[in-house]
Structure 1
Amino acid sequence: MKNEDYQVFGIRAIIEAINAGKTLDKVFIQKGLKGDLIKEMETLVRKNGIGFSYVPVEKLNRLTKGNHQGVVASISPISFYEMEELVEKVLANDKKTPLFLLLDQLSDVRNFGAIIRTAECTGVDGIIIQKKGAAPVTADTIKTSAGAAFKVPIAKVDHLKDAVFYLQSSGIKVISATEKTEKTIYDVSFEGPCAIVMGAEDVGITPSILKASEETVKLPLLGEIGSLNVSVACGVFLYEVVRQRLK
């Protein structure tokens, strides 16, 4: 399985893929590209809430060896849930301690895959990401997740803050991981229904999401390096949940 297996390139081909209901993770558009057809494609991309970015032609040449016509899109190998559908499905199963994972601004596909793998191993009921800016599910994601991406439900939302409020209204406590706090993960309880928010290593969690969270906690770091790889940090958080719930 190669990344090329989940790509579509060419302006008209991408328009047809969108109209056919294909799940596009992201569209890469050559900077400065003009014309009526590209405008039509951009309108469709925006209308359907598909993430996109403008890139130099060299980026597109690296993505595919075909005649890309200035645009390359990645097709997701999995189907995504609507956030409300996912939460309601989990709660309808009468699970007393649901566990969700929210990923804020995480863009690295391999970190994403590693997190999905750990999420599956620790019983996470669902992962929620934002539509724009989040890491796509590519062949590399699938490989790094060891296939767990086919097992853990993933939902996309326009704004992660909306997911925070929806989870809270459903009786699920939202706990954000940040170094900007005094509490550690060993000072809070994960035994009840909860959702853990992890941010990207470079920018962390959006301030408005931190403010909306019931708890903000950190990992104690005893060395000189100021942070862990996000997939490693996420694994520590999730296994602390497992530890507390197995007691």
Structure 2
Amino acid sequence: MTPNPTIIFGIRALIEAIESGSTINKVYLQKGLRGNLFYELDKLVKDKKIATSTVPIEKLNRLSKNNNHQGAVAQISPIEFYDLEKLIEKTIESEKIPLFLILDQLSDVRNFGAIIRTAECTGVNGIIIQKNGSAPVNAETIKTSAGAAFKVPICKVDHIKDALFLLEASEIKTVAATEKTKDSIFDVNFNQPIAIVMGSEHRGVNPSVLKMVDYKVKLPLLGEIESLNVSVACGAFLYETVRQRLQVVKN
């Protein structure tokens, strides 16, 4: 048995885990693997749209810390993911002003964990990520979040656009953080049902996503460096939301 509870290995073990409904972050398969059982696993992974990488045997040895992995290793998520549509309905029924956070293919687990921690502190109702291309919720994410990953609902969608359509149908406005605009964060009314979209560390928000949002805004940068770390920028957006909402309460 592997000493890491978020790692499982062995073709049959992976098949059983997937069929039982376990939340799989990613499956790693050995290059050149063949055989009927492998094809069964490969088909199952594709049908379930689970992120997969084909890797050398050396990486599988490191991940599993065991040479008896049969060419297949998987990372299991330590949390259960929420259904976005149900979470939106529950949030609206609570009569609180909805606040969601969309992470458009963020890749660094430490940034992800730091953002989850800030999201919990600022009352975010749910974090939305894409199934493929996003940082996983693993042990390092949990540690960096200071345990907040167990408190903030996290939803996975096939594509960020799917989330935008659902939010729009529920009359929740979307605002994207981007440098490709002249509009400032301080010009947006965050005291309304809203979802904040943050992009990946290197690319930012996907252009196709930017076309769909209601607002595109940026943070003022007074120094020579052209951008902030995404977790810092996210914190600024969330606390501007908190500031505006607290101001209304005081008045």
Shorter-chain TM-score above 0.5: yes
Please say which structure displays the higher CA radius of gyration: 2
> Which residue in the other structure is 2:158 paired with?
158
Q: Deviations over 1:109-134 (max 9, x none)?
A: 11111110000000000011111111
1:108 to partner: Cα distance: 1.4
3-state SS, counterpart of residue 140 of structure 1: helix
- SS of 1:5's equivalent? coil
TM-score by length of 2: 0.93
Question: Any conservation in 2 of the 1:60–1:71 contact (CA below 8 Å)?
Answer: yes
Q: Percent identity?
A: 66
Indicate the residue corresponding to 1:73 in structure 2: 74
Q: Could you say if the C-alpha distance between residues 221 and 30 of structure 1 is closer, same or farther in structure 2, counting changes exceeding 3 Å?
A: farther
**Matched residue, 1:103:** 103
- Using the alignment, how far apart are the partners of 2:59 and 2:221 within structure 1? 37
Partner of 2:63: 63
Alignment correspondent of 1:126: 126
Contact 2:167/2:173, CA 8 A, preserved across alignment: yes
Aligned length: 245
Contact map agreement 2:23 2:76 (CA 8 A) in 1: yes
Deviations 1:195-232 (A, max 9, x none): 00011111111111100000011112222222211111
Aligned to 1:138: 138
Which aligned runs of 4 or more in structure 1 are off by greater than 3 angstroms?
none
* Counterpart Cα distance in 2 of 1:3 and 1:179: 44
Give the match's secondary structure for 2:176.
strand
Query: In the TM superposition, what is the alpha-carbon distance from 1:34 to its structure 2 partner?
Result: 2.4
Task: Give 2:61's aligned amino acid.
Answer: N
Report the AA paired with residue 75 of structure 1: I
Residue 221 in 1 paired to residue 227 in 2?
A: no
What whole-Å deviation, never above 9, does each CA across 1:141-178 have from its counterpart, x for those lacking one?
11111110010001111111011011011010000111
Tell me the C-alpha RMSD between the 2 structures: 1.5
Answer yes or no: is the 8 Å Cα contact 1:3–1:139 preserved in 2: no
Structure 2 runs not aligned, ≥5 long: none
Distance across 1 between alignment mates of 2:52 and 2:117 = 26
State the match for 1:171 in structure 2. Answer: 171
Q: Is the 8 A contact 1:3 1:140 kept in 2?
A: no
TM-score by length of 1: 0.95
Shift of 1:3: 8.6
Letter paired with 2:158:
D
The CA distance in 1 between the partners of 2:171 and 2:159, in whole Å, is: 20
* 2:182–2:218 Cα contact (<8 Å) kept: yes
Instruction: Say whether the 8 Å CA contact 2:8–2:64 is kept in structure 1.
Output: no
